[in-house]
Structure formats: structure tokens, C-alpha cells
Structure 1
Amino acid sequence: DESVAEAADAKRRLDLSRQHVTALLGHKDQPSDKDADQGRESQLSLVDCQAPFDGTIERKQFAASERVKVGDSLFVLADTRRLWIAADLREQDWDALRLTAGQEVLVESPALGHRTLTARVHFIGREVSPESNAVPLVAEIDNSDGLLRPGMFVRVTISLDQPASVLAVPSAAVVEHERHKFVFIPGSRAGEFVRKDIQAGRDDGQWVEVLSGLEPGAQVVAHGAFVLKSELLLERE
């Protein structure tokens, strides 16, 4: 009858109010035996959230007992079993533009020690960024073992042609001023060093390929080139 319906409605409102207070205070009262028997039917303010895909929670965007409303973002969910590797192809690396989708590249990271992983090229851009003077490369890598994490720094090595003999100097020997690269070679007098402009090619961080400007066997200053550059600029002032 009407009194029974009103009592049931009052009970539901009471349960909802209790859960609201629990959420605000951040703790849960011990349920009575009767409440325990009712189970989920009495938990009117609890909503199950089902993920749209398998993955892991990378970030939780709310605090315990915080009130949320429709449309709020609660979690950042990610499937990290496969990841994208983003790299920039600088001007000296543009030979890699001959790569095609599916070709392998090697991936290394300080977090992996000496371990090397393999990724496959997914996309190579054609437009040069005016800010970085680079072309983007995107590769896909299997991360089912969870060794990599989103946002990690990695180094990508691209194998191009067969190994060939080239003229190269240590990276520390090459200095730059006003977009011109040069090295220092011994002068005609003892203790004298002179500037020698070069056209640089590929740079792997340890060696710089010299396309022109030096002859094979020429001696260059490998340590102290920056100091010589500073002295040279001071002489011009």
C-alpha cells in the first residue's frame, strides 16, 4: 500500500545519504547484517566503470572521496603492449628517407643497459620542420615484456647501405661559427694552429664524416678545439 511504498522510498533515501556522507568523510561504516544481505542493491551511489579495452591505468585523475560529475576524466588507460618510437631525422641523416615501411631499426635506451631492441618503420615524413630542420620518423615496437614505458628516451640506429670507407674526424674536433663548420690543423710554425673549413656529413655522436675540406691523413686538433675557436674569435674583435 501507500505507506509501504513511502517507507521503501525513505529507506532508499537514507541509504543514499549514508553513502554520500561516507564518500565525503573518506571512510566506510561497518555494515549491519541486514545491509550486508542486501549487497549491491543498497549501494545506489556506486557505479561500475568498465574499460573499453585491455590495458593498464597510467594515471588516476582524482583523489579518494573526491566528488565527480558526468563527463569528468577519471583514469588514463593505455595499452602499452605496442608502442610508437618517434625520432627526428636531421639533415645529415636524410639518407634514411630511402627507408620504407616495415624495415627494421635498432632501439637502445640507457634504462636497458646494453640490450638492443628491434622496431619496424611505420611512417617517415616528407616535410622538414622549420624549427628543428628535421623530418619525423615513427616506428612501432613490440613491448609485450614491458621493458619500455611511454615517454622514455631512446636512441634509434638506422642501417642504410653496406659499410664503406669514409673520411671522418672525432666529433670533438669539429666546431661551428655562423653556420660554418671547421677544424683546426697544425700551422707552419710550431705551436700554431689554423682554421680549416669542412663540409660535414653524418654524425654518430663520436665521429663526423668529412665530405670535403680535408685530405686523408691530415692531422686535426681533437682536444681543445673549442678553446682555439674562442681565441680565434677574440683576435677578430
Structure 2
Amino acid sequence: MSAFQPSRRVFGAAMTALAVTLAACGSGGGEKAEGEHGEAAAEYERGPHRGRLLRDGDFSLEITIYEEGPEPLFRLYPYLKDKPLDPRQVQATIALTRLGPKVDRFAFTAENDYLASPGIVSEPHSFDVAVTAVHAGKRSSWTYQSYEGRTIISAEAARAGGVTTERAGSAILGENLPLTGRVEIKPEGLAEVHARYPGRVMSMAVELGSPVRRGQVLARVESSESLQTYAVTAPISGIITAKNANPGQITGNGAPMLEIGDPGQLHAEFFLYPRDAERVRVGQRVEVRSLTGASRVTAVIEAILPSADLLSQTLVAHVHLPAGSGGWRPGQGVEGSVQVGAGEVPLAVQTKALQPFRDFTVVYAKVGNTYEVRMLDLGRRTEEWTEVLGGLEPGTEYVVDGAFLIRADIEKSGASHDH
């Protein structure tokens, strides 16, 4: 965090120079002062509705944001010599210049004892404000800054903190279906070793767990008919996984003397439940992970066995594990995820860029050296990408790596508020 110390000084200086107004929303009602944003708020005069009071001689205008309804809306209360003024005698407009820049404009009409606008004050409530009001032929104008979720960080400090960005755009998303299973040796990697002729085992050259190569002599057996001794060799290379005979025993009764497994020929067997089986297909890619997460590999579904287990009704999908792809062991439990229903969405951000801010999930937009929250309406999510349904313009540069550092810098500066 030391890399961000200079930026906080820059931010503090900017706050002082611009008289940024930050104060928390009051808990006692549906209206808050426009620009109320936290503990570091600059002092300003408040009106009877706890809004920001703007004065021009005997005329004054109180700015509030009404948040009891589904969306926040401006309400303006006019006064003349500090007495409530009929709002029908006032014409007012507000322009909000946002980081980017983008300008939201509001025109007001009289309603009850205040001026109202149908325009929604969209999040974030972070903008430069320009207010114009006309009463009795006299025009009054005011400007001020009202920022939240915003900070300034130098390019050097951002690089030192590992901050990276990219542009928001389209992405390929699919639902990730979780799978469970185990590692097994493939059928072609298994072999039983039998004596060709019944007889007595004269010698055994291997032990359980011994590595062997194809053609290697494993044992010698004396034929019970010819009394000739012959060699028993390995049909494949691998590891001795079972040993059912020892010197002096009679073999050739149908049971294998030895069993060999090739640990280089492995696959993962994943169990597909009935509700998921129809969504999984041969050729789909699966991320296979050990239960500890130490080993992982992306591989392809080779086959789905046609027969279901009688009790569980599960099918089994086989996923080839390339040799040398990890420390896989036969019988080891594994997890997996297969992407189903993949398709392109018009706007998405990297999932790791998402951060909490008040009651929202946000990313941090970057404009020059300024960073500011963007509250998102989200759709589908995968480990890599999250669909954005609203709250972010396509092409916006946003923070991917180091987003938590931006959040910490904003929280320390007090540039946030509670709704």
C-alpha cells in the first residue's frame, strides 16, 4: 500500500482545492442533501429538508435527492427571505457533468411545495453540478462538485500497485456445470498376467509396485505336463498393481498371477446425474482439478458410457488426462467443470474485477489518472467473465488487477456514502 501514499496526498489536495462535498445520507428520512457523502464532508448551509441551500440575495434554493421511491429523484425547494416560495413562480434546471464526460440534464416543474423532475439521478452520484433558477425575471446560477467513489492515483503509483485495465466489450460466456469423479487407469492401460500352462511357480522377479517394461521376464513356471520351465513376460509396460502368486504355488487355474497398470494412461471418470446428462456432450472441454487444487488440466470428454447405474441412474463421462499433465493417481478423487450453453454476450467484464461498494457490485472506471465506481446490473457469471446488463458503457476502460487497492484508497479517503 505504500505505493498509494502519494496518490492519497494528491487526492487530499484535490479535495481541498475543489471543496469536494462528501457527506453521509441521513437516516431520518427519504431525502438527502445532493452531494452528501461521508465523514470528510465540507461544511455548507443546509435547508429545512437537510438539503444543500444555495443563496442568491433574498432568493434561495434547497437541493435534495428523494430516495423513498424505486429510483432517486431531485426535489428542489425554493425560498424567498427564508420563507417557502410557491414553486410555480420558479423555473429551474440542473446539469450534471460526469466523469467521461457525460452530461445529464434535468428540467423541473412545480409539484406540491417543491420542484420535481422525472429524470432519475443515476448512480454513481458523482458529478460536477450546475444549477440555474429564474424567479421574478432574475436568473441565479451556482456550480459545485459532488463526488463519491472517486480517487486520483498517479500512473507511477498505479503501476507500482499492480493495477491493470482493459476495455469493456463482448465475451463468450457459458454456464459452468460442476462435476465430481475419480481418476482411473484406462482399459488399454490394464493387463492381467497369466501362466500359459498350469504348473509350479519356480521364481518371481517382481514385487507389488515394481515398474516393468513390455517383454520383461516376470516369473518362471515349471509346466506340470512337460516339467519344462518357461518364462512369463510382461504384456505391457507399467506398474505391478496386484500379485496373486508366489514361488512354490501352483498357477494356471484361470486366476491371473499378476496385474499391471500403466500410470501414463489415465482418464477421469465423471458422474453425470440425469438432470445434467443431456447437456454434456463428447468433445466438450472440462477443467479437471485435484481435490487439493494442486493439479489441474483442461481436457476433452472422450466418451460417455451409454448405460446408467441402476441405483443412482448416473452416466459416466471419460475425460483423457494427458501424460505429464499433473500428479494424478488412480483412485484419486477429482472435481471438474464443463462449460455448457456457451454464447456471446454484448458486454462483459472480467469476474476478478468485481468489487463490493455499499450495496452494489462495481468495477472501477479509469479516465486519465482518475478512478470512479460504476454500479453494475449483472447477468450470467463464470469464473472468467461476468455479463453486464447495465451501469457500464461499452468501451469503458476499467480496472482488472489491483481493483481492491483502488477500493481501499477510496475508502480511506472517505469518498463514499451510505444510502
- Normalising TM by the smaller chain, what interval? 0.3 to 0.5
Bigger share in strand: 2
Larger Rg: 2
User: What TM-score does the superposition give when structure 1 sets the normalisation length?
Assistant: 0.41
Bigger share in helix: 1
Q: Which has the higher contact order (CA 8 A, sep 6+)?
A: 2
User: What TM-score does the superposition give when structure 2 sets the normalisation length?
Assistant: 0.25
